[in-house]
Amino acid sequence: MEQPTPEQYQPRLTLWGHAWRTLVCLLLSALVWSTAVGEQWDHARWLFWVDLAGGLASYVLMFYRRRWPLAVALVISALTLVSGIAAGPATLVSISLATRQDLRKVVLVGVVGVLAAQGYADWQSTNSEPFWITFGFNVAATVGIMGWGMYIGSRRQMLWTLRARAERAEADQEMRVARARGNERARIAREMHDVLAHRISQISMHAGALGFREDLSAEQMRGSAAAIQERAHEALDDLRAVLGVLRDDRTGDVLQRPQPTYADLPELVDQARTSGMTVDFDDRLDAAGLPVPDVAGRTVYRIVQEGMTNAQKHAPGSRLTVELTGSPDTGIRVVLRNPIGFGPGTTPGSGLGLIGLTERADLHGGRLDYRQDGRTWVLRGWIPWAA
């Protein structure tokens, strides 16, 4: 993660922030100047006015410490050579500079500050302390001030980093939620298409026959109407099953109806034949005595179901050939072929079923291919045994 700049992690100063910092500076200035103001007034009044002017200048410059941190810190630190009043602003700008954690600049300003403070102490004739005491005090005070400033800067940087990480984590979480919602919508759409398109195509075929066949007897019409009703009920049952599966994934409830597997393929073929389709089903899958895994079997079932649905939509009345081959070692191959119909189909298609099947096959490590081969539509799929 990139390191933040001082401009990023430094908080914006409010009116109260400026006020209490200025008040602390005034107290420090009063404390330092009080040790020299009397002597200045009595013996070197010009120094009194220089001290006052330098102090006022330092207070003005203090408010530009974030715009020009190094220049302001150097100038105010140098002013402490002739102005005790500048001690307050010098402390503040030194801390402000140290929060930027640039060690070279901190050392430079610290050295200037120590020398200037020592010079100001030597100016005072009332100062009877040995040189090493005042110098040691100035060094200790400067190190403490700079250390405190670097601690504040480090803490600000850490808080900014934690806040940035939290914001990034929240954004990532929102992205994951949005992606999960999109995947869930796609999954629902895929399941809805898989279970409903086949039934509705059968209903459409029976309803179309009622509309075009004028030679049907009353008994045949009743039979077709009963078939439509049966397929409608089956569609509703399939819809309930899908909703049950989706609900089960979220709540853990027991499914009301199992999902189709490889063992349900013969029943699917029989239903298609009952509805009037001509289906040649050639199952040469060599399972070697092993049960076909549910995920692989369900995916194969959906491929065959979609192939039947497309044949009913776009080539009603044509012969559909379904071939199953493979083994636990080579995976399951399914091939569906049907002649391309003439004219428009009986039911409009959106193409979403094949797209959804491709996604389903990819999800389980397989592949799906569909194309026109002359006047024949071919749908091929391969699913690994342990999908």
How far is the C-alpha of 208 from the C-alpha of 233, rounded, in Å? 18
CA nearest neighbour of 262 among 308, 294, 309, 286: 294
Q: Kindly give the pairing relationship between strand 331-339 and strand 376-383.
A: antiparallel
Q: State yes or no: pLDDT of 254 exceeds 50.
A: no
Q: State yes or no: pLDDT of 219 exceeds 70.
A: yes
What per-residue confidence (pLDDT) applies to 40?
66
- For residues 29 and 84, the answer to whether their CB atoms sit within 8 Å is yes
DSSP per-residue letters across 328-375: TTTEEEEEEEEEPPSS--SS---SHHHHHHHHHHHHTT-EEEEEEETT
Question: Helix, strand, or coil here: 319?
Answer: strand
- For residues 109 and 97, the answer to whether their CB atoms sit within 8 Å is yes
Q: State yes or no: pLDDT of 57 exceeds 80.
A: yes
- For residues 268 and 305, the answer to whether their CB atoms sit within 8 Å is yes
Q: pLDDT band at 366, cuts 50/70/90? A: very high
What per-residue confidence (pLDDT) applies to 131?
76
Residue 181 Cα distances to 176, 185, 188, 217, angstroms: 8, 6, 10, 51
How far is the C-alpha of 312 from the C-alpha of 231, rounded, in Å? 14
For residue 36, report the phi and psi dihedrals to the nearest 5 degrees: -130, -15
What per-residue confidence (pLDDT) applies to 3?
66
Q: pLDDT band at 382, cuts 50/70/90? A: very high
∠ Cα 116 119 124 (to 5°): 135
Average pLDDT over residues 304-315: 86
pTM: 0.46
What per-residue confidence (pLDDT) applies to 256?
47
Question: Helix, strand, or coil here: 118?
Answer: helix
- For residues 300 and 310, the answer to whether their CB atoms sit within 8 Å is no
What per-residue confidence (pLDDT) applies to 76?
92
How far is the C-alpha of 288 from the C-alpha of 310, rounded, in Å? 32
111-139 confidence digits (pLDDT tens): 998 888 888 777 765 556 677 788 888 88
What per-residue confidence (pLDDT) applies to 263?
92
258-301 confidence digits (pLDDT tens): 678 899 999 999 988 887 789 999 999 998 888 999 889 989 99
Average pLDDT over residues 63-77: 90
Average pLDDT over residues 72-93: 89
Q: Which residues contact 222 (CB under 8 A, 6 or more apart)?
A: none
How far is the C-alpha of 78 from the C-alpha of 72, rounded, in Å? 10
Amino acid at 313: K
Domains annotated for the chain, with CATH where assigned, are 6-172 (no CATH), 260-387 (3.30.565.10)
Q: pLDDT band at 384, cuts 50/70/90? A: very high
DSSP letter (8 states) at residue 214: S
CA nearest neighbour of 283 among 265, 296, 310, 260: 265
Average pLDDT score over the chain? 81
- In 34-130, which ranges are continuous DSSP H helix? 37-43, 45-62, 69-79, 87-98, 103-123
Q: State yes or no: pLDDT of 42 exceeds 70.
A: no
Average pLDDT over residues 232-259: 61
What per-residue confidence (pLDDT) applies to 6?
65
How far is the C-alpha of 19 from the C-alpha of 78, rounded, in Å? 24
Q: State yes or no: pLDDT of 193 exceeds 80.
A: no
Q: State yes or no: pLDDT of 243 exceeds 80.
A: no
A 10 A CB-CB count for 73 gives 29
DSSP per-residue letters across 175-204: HHHHHHHHHHHHHHHHHHHHHHHHHHHHHH
Residue 283: in which H helix or E strand, if any? strand 278-283
Amino acid at 263: A
For residue 369, list its beta bridge partners. Answer: 380
Q: State yes or no: pLDDT of 346 exceeds 80.
A: no
Take residue 73 and report the two structure tokens written for it: 């810190």
How far is the C-alpha of 63 from the C-alpha of 222, rounded, in Å? 94
Q: pLDDT band at 198, cuts 50/70/90? A: low
- For residues 3 and 55, the answer to whether their CB atoms sit within 8 Å is no
Take residue 35 and report the two structure tokens written for it: 């040790």
